[in-house]
Amino acid sequence: MAAPKPQAVVVGGSIAGLSCAHALISAGWRVTVFEKSASPPDGSPTGAGLGLDPQSLRLLSQWISDPHLLQDVTFPLSIDLNRLTDSGTKASRTLTRDEDFDFRAAHWADLHSILLRTLPPDTVLWGHQFLSFEVSDGRSSVVTNARVLRTDEIIGIASDLVVAADGCLSSIRRRLFPDSKLRYSGYYAWRGILDFSGKENDGMILSIRQSYPDLGNCLYFDLALSTHCVLYELKGHRLNWLWYINGPEPEHKESSLTVKVSDSMIEMMHEEADKIWVPELARVMKATKEPFINIIYDSDPLPKLFRDNVVLVGDAAHPTTPHGLRSTNMSIQDAAALGCCLEKWGWENLSSALEEYQSIRLPVISKQVLHARKLGRIKQGLALNCGSTFDPTTARQEECLQLQQRNMPYFEGVPITSDITLPSKQIGS
């Protein structure tokens, strides 16, 4: 008679949580995911674009078995391009161009959908709001409690491990590490996705393609004085953009990283876009339905990634600014490393597995979080630790090179186990 499989409860059904479900199931665990949302996302055109690095794409293709699913929902980002925009003349010039970038762009909802539908049925319990966990006296198990939002019933599941994948505002992280606080970056971002389906030959789309000729294969960064903007194309006739603006921390609900915007706020944003950016980019911003504001936070690296039978992954473990395209990639790589360690050590040696996971991931994510923080301050013209600021209008070529994504620590690939680094091989190559 086969021994029963160990059980894990994953708190959070976003990409980090679903990635952990895949990795742990591959390692021989039974997995239940608690997610407070009532149902899966519907693929709405609003939301977030993301960039997947070659190693994350390789890991994803191992879990979902059919790499064509990833090809079908992603566009290549072969070029990392930083440009200077002269707000007076509305002219642009290249600061640095890396044609060996090798990422792929995806919409968050598209990637989430693939991860979800390739899991066993009923892995995710929708409409289950995490409440608390209690580790047994002998640390042999942990009970996770959740409220079933449809009935208001409280349920508890006993498991061998709890995986906290509950995001930047993680209540589990606050319990394990109460001194860890989110840190406001000094700027926020307007963001949106323009769906131009059926309007591919519209004058606005033709003009943005003329101004940004590598769309569909390029990650564009436009820099002006003390601000910058990101633009890239997603599958499904969509343009993803973000505009970072220095300023005091906006007022918002403590339970959210976004700000409710009014029509007047959107109108003011449009007016400022006309002043700062090339007309083609400003037109895209004006045509975008329901743009919103994200407040940009990160957190100083944690001293540990687990306590007892509870381990942190994804943004719960390492809130980070978005400038190094790290958040999703770190989440996927966290999941892979955790799965490998659990399979290697077996649930009977859970503490050793978690120690190895921590030893592999903590040095990597600590350096990547701090580098993303620095890169954001460089592009926003904010003072660095040395007191200097970056001015794109006067920067020398060697100074501009620090804008490139490949300066991210472990850019070529991170260790997934203590003795193996997966090659950074792109799917379909």
The pLDDT tens digits for 181-224 are 999 999 999 999 999 999 999 999 999 999 999 999 999 999 99
Residues 331 and 394 in one domain: yes
Checking if the pLDDT of 2 tops 80, the result is no
Residues 330 and 373 in one domain: yes
Tally of helices (H runs) and strands (E runs) in the chain: 11, 20
Checking if the pLDDT of 427 tops 50, the result is no
Q: What is the pLDDT of residue 365?
A: 98
Instruction: State which of 298, 322, 345 marks the end of a domain.
Output: 298
Q: For residue 248, what is the domain's CATH number?
A: 3.30.9.60
Residue type, 349: N
Dist. CA 271–CA 48, nearest whole Å? 24
Q: Quick one: average pLDDT of 17-45?
A: 90
Q: Quick one: average pLDDT of 371-400?
A: 95
Closest CA to 224 of 244, 194, 248, 204: 244
Specify the pairing of strand 103-107 against strand 49-52: antiparallel
Q: Quick one: average pLDDT of 23-50?
A: 86
Residues 136 and 22 in one domain: yes
Q: Between 108-117 and 54-64, two packed helices, what is the crossing angle to 10 degrees? A: 30
Instruction: State which of 265, 298, 331 marks the end of a domain.
Output: 298
| DSSP letter (8 states) at residue 421 | B
Closest CA to 88 of 281, 278, 268: 278
Per-residue pLDDT band at 387 (split at 50, 70, 90)? confident
Residues 254 and 235 in one domain: yes
Q: What is the pLDDT of residue 201?
A: 93
Closest CA to 82 of 394, 402, 390: 402
Q: Quick one: average pLDDT of 6-22?
A: 97
Residue 47 belongs to a domain: yes
Q: Quick one: average pLDDT of 145-158?
A: 97
CB atoms within 10 A of CB 272: 16
Dist. CA 304–CA 94, nearest whole Å? 41
What is the number of structural domains in the chain? 2
Residues 307 and 277 in one domain: no
Residue 320 belongs to a domain: yes
Residue 28 belongs to a domain: yes
Residue 142 belongs to a domain: yes
Dist. CA 115–CA 332, nearest whole Å? 11
Residues 373 and 245 in one domain: no
For the chain, percent of residues with pLDDT exceeding 90: 88
Dist. CA 281–CA 266, nearest whole Å? 15
pLDDT in tens, 307-354: 999 999 999 999 999 999 999 999 999 999 999 999 999 999 999 999
Q: For residue 29, what is the domain's CATH number?
A: 3.50.50.60
Q: What is the pLDDT of residue 425?
A: 39
Residues 222 and 324 in one domain: no
Checking if the pLDDT of 426 tops 80, the result is no
How many residues comprise the chain?
Answer: 429
Residue 422 belongs to a domain: no
Residues 273 and 131 in one domain: no
Q: Is-contact 168 319, C-beta < 8 A?
A: yes
* Domain coverage including residue 282: 73-107+182-298
Average predicted confidence (pLDDT) for the chain: 93
Residues 45 and 168 in one domain: yes
Name every residue whose Cβ is closer than 8 Å to that of residue 396 and which is 6 or more positions away in sequence.
none
Residues 61 and 113 in one domain: yes
The SS3 of residue 342 is helix
Residue 332 belongs to a domain: yes
Tokens 């239940």, residue? 32
Instruction: State which of 275, 298, 321 marks the end of a domain.
Output: 298
Q: Say which range, 106-120, 167-181, 243-257, has the weakest mean pLDDT.
A: 243-257
Buried b (16+ CB within 10 A) or exposed e, 72-85: ebbbbbbbbbbbbb
